[in-house]
Amino acid sequence: DGGITQSPKYLFRKEGQNVTLSCEQNLNHDAMYWYRQDPGQGLRLIYYSQIVNDFQKGDIAEGYSVSREKKESFPLTVTSAQKNPTAFYLCASSIGGPGDNEQFFGPGTRLTVL
Amino acid sequence: AQSVTQLDSQVPVFEEAPVELRCNYSSSVSVYLFWYVQYPNQGLQLLLKYLSGSTLVKGINGFEAEFNKSQTSFHLRKPSVHISDTAEYFCAVSDWSRAGNMLTFGGGTRLMVKP
């Protein structure tokens, strides 16, 4: 089955620690995205990548970093510089380029800072 | 840049009643429009999308939406809701002002179906 996987589903972090969230897709999509979702709020874009070895900051990139070394993988690192990292994190992908830009979402990772 | 407004943050409705979730967007230029559903602690799942053609779009789970270009709206409707429709619903619009294949999302509407 084609889709997007995120791991782990739940993640706990102590203050001051960096943590990396995994996102893998086997849809052969060029574009990938990371969103943050806080309770009762919509989605806010953290980073996106349109192609391998390239990525751009979204609306709330401070305290986060990403890499895109492989087409199918787009890991997100939440650094100690992120002041309020407790949230639900969603990864998505799309075909990329002009045309139908439907995004396909993973199941999410819930990060809690202890 | 595009903006998307979902006019109701919460919509309570009784089971088997009809429901409409409202969505308005800012730009009248050519757009693609999407509705997603999110169940608790899960990712977003596509309900339906409008790319071109008929303005009435049918989706999964009995939902439909109508694209109204003059009113820049894309309201989601279902004639008879079920308890299992309780979820968060997000409207999204293609945002050609941003580099890349971007979507702008509304703030979401929580549909609460009561027995």
Burial bucket for residue B28 (CB in 10 Å: 0-12, 13-18, 19+):
exposed
Average pLDDT rounded to a whole number, residues A55-69:
96
With b for 16 or more beta-carbon neighbours within 10 A and e for fewer, the A4-29 pattern comes to: bebeeeebebeeeeebebebbbeeeb
Q: Among all chains, which residue has been given the structure tokens 């349109």?
A: A50
Asked if residue B83 lies in contact with residue B62, where contact means CB atoms within 8 angstroms, the answer is no
Instruction: Say how far apart CA A43 and CA A99 lie, in whole Å.
Output: 22
Q: Is A93 on the interface with B (CB under 8 A)?
A: no
Instruction: Say how far apart CA B91 and CA B108 lie, in whole Å.
Output: 7
Best CA proximity match to B42, nearest among A87, A10, A5, A108: A108
* Partner residues linked to B78 by β-bridges: B19
pLDDT band at A98 (very low <50, low <70, confident <90, very high): confident
Computed on alpha carbons and rounded to an integer, the radius of gyration of chain B in Å comes to 14
Instruction: Say how far apart CA B74 and CA B56 lie, in whole Å.
Output: 10
Q: What is the predicted pLDDT for the residue at B28?
A: 63
Q: Among all chains, which residue has been given the structure tokens 């990371």?
A: A34
CA A58 to chain centroid: 11
pLDDT tens digits along A22-36: 999 999 999 999 999
Average pLDDT rounded to a whole number, residues A50-69:
95
Asked if residue B1 lies in contact with residue B97, where contact means CB atoms within 8 angstroms, the answer is yes
Q: What is the predicted pLDDT for the residue at B29?
A: 73
> Between these two residues, A2 and A55, which has the higher pLDDT value?
A55
Q: Is B44 on the interface with A (CB under 8 A)?
A: yes
Dihedral in degrees, nearest 10, Cα atoms A65, A70, A71, A77:
-20
Chain B residue with Cα closest to A38: B107
B99–A102 CB contact, under 8 Å: no
Average pLDDT rounded to a whole number, residues A37-49:
90
Instruction: Say how far apart CA A36 and CA A113 lie, in whole Å.
Output: 15
A42–B105 CB contact, under 8 Å: yes
Burial bucket for residue B110 (CB in 10 Å: 0-12, 13-18, 19+):
middle
Asked if the model's pLDDT at residue A111 lies above 80, the reply is yes
| Residue B83: φ, ψ to 5° | -50, -40
B41–A108 CB contact, under 8 Å: yes
Chain B 58-97, residues with CB within 8 Å of chain A CB atoms: 90, 92, 94
- Give the lowest-confidence range in A59-63, A78-82, B24-28, B95-99: B95-99
pLDDT band at A4 (very low <50, low <70, confident <90, very high): very high
A102–B106 CB contact, under 8 Å: no
pLDDT band at A83 (very low <50, low <70, confident <90, very high): confident
Average pLDDT rounded to a whole number, residues A88-113:
91
Average pLDDT rounded to a whole number, residues A82-102:
89
B-chain CB neighbours of A96 within 8 Å are: 100-101
Q: What is the predicted pLDDT for the residue at B97?
A: 67
User: Per-block average pLDDT, block size 10, for chain B (115 residues)?
Assistant: 90 98 86 94 95 93 95 96 97 77 90 97
